[in-house]
Amino acid sequence: MAKKKKVSSPAPKHEKLPFPHGASLADKREIPTAETPTAPAEPDYYKLKLQAVEDLVTANPENSPPVSRQELRKYHAGPKVHVADWVKAILLKVWFAGVICYFFIWGLSTLALNQWDLIFILGVVLGGATHLLTNNIYRFTAKQEGAYDRWMMFPGKSLAFLPADILYAMVLILCTIMTYNGINLLLAGPDSAAPALGVEPILFGVITTLWDLLFLGAKQLCMRILFDAKQKA
């Protein structure tokens, strides 16, 4: 019986890789067969933006770009309802005058005071409140220095202006009382014993504030006339 010869299978041929000529074995191992994605570089959080910090520290109204109030209101943390500055100034005047009427005119109504004595007491209280409270509230809430000066008859901070504020408040109280007397004379007549319009805090504050605004407007008009005269001279 003839023996079958074993046919040896041909050795597998190794596929040649496209290595560049002259590359070493270590270089061949490092060459990737496919492109690997590179990770994005992480930002350097510790790198200080010195120029931005310098611009923020040295910022002032002169070197800052103009920004509208509507744009600033987007980043305001307060209420979204905007109240104009002139409305705040007038309401503050009305409120203080009304409070003084409530505590002193109504509070002293049981005492038989002369009208001039009442004018003196109310003038001292209103003038002191204007100089020590109202004007300081204006300065504290002003967005820029001197923004509320046009609502003060005497904007000075010194106590030397306190007597002037008291005298000015006496004039306001006298004008307000004369206004009440004129209204009652028109409504009730000269022979009526009871007044047709009594004194109450809200209307008293409104009338006092209207006289105050009238005198402030006259003051600003006189200052404008004097300024124009100096410019023409």
Q: What is the pLDDT of residues 147-188, one digit of tens each?
A: 899 999 999 889 999 999 999 999 999 999 999 999 988 888
Q: Which of 179, 168, 171 is nearest to 204 (CA)?
A: 179
198: in domain: yes
Q: Say if residues 194 and 153 touch (Cβ distance below 8 Å).
A: no
* Count of domains forming the chain: 1
27: in domain: no
Q: Which of 228, 222, 201, 212 is nearest to 97 (CA)?
A: 201
With a pLDDT cut of 70, the percent of the chain lying above it is 76
103: in domain: yes
For residue 145, what are the domain limits?
Answer: 85-232
More confident site: 182 or 43: 182
Give 44-72 pLDDT, tens digit per residue.
Answer: 666 777 777 787 788 887 777 787 777 77
Contacts of 30 (CB under 8 A, 6+ apart): none
Q: Say if residues 131 and 158 touch (Cβ distance below 8 Å).
A: no
Degrees (nearest 5) of the Cα angle 211, 163, 224?
50
61: in domain: no
37: in domain: no
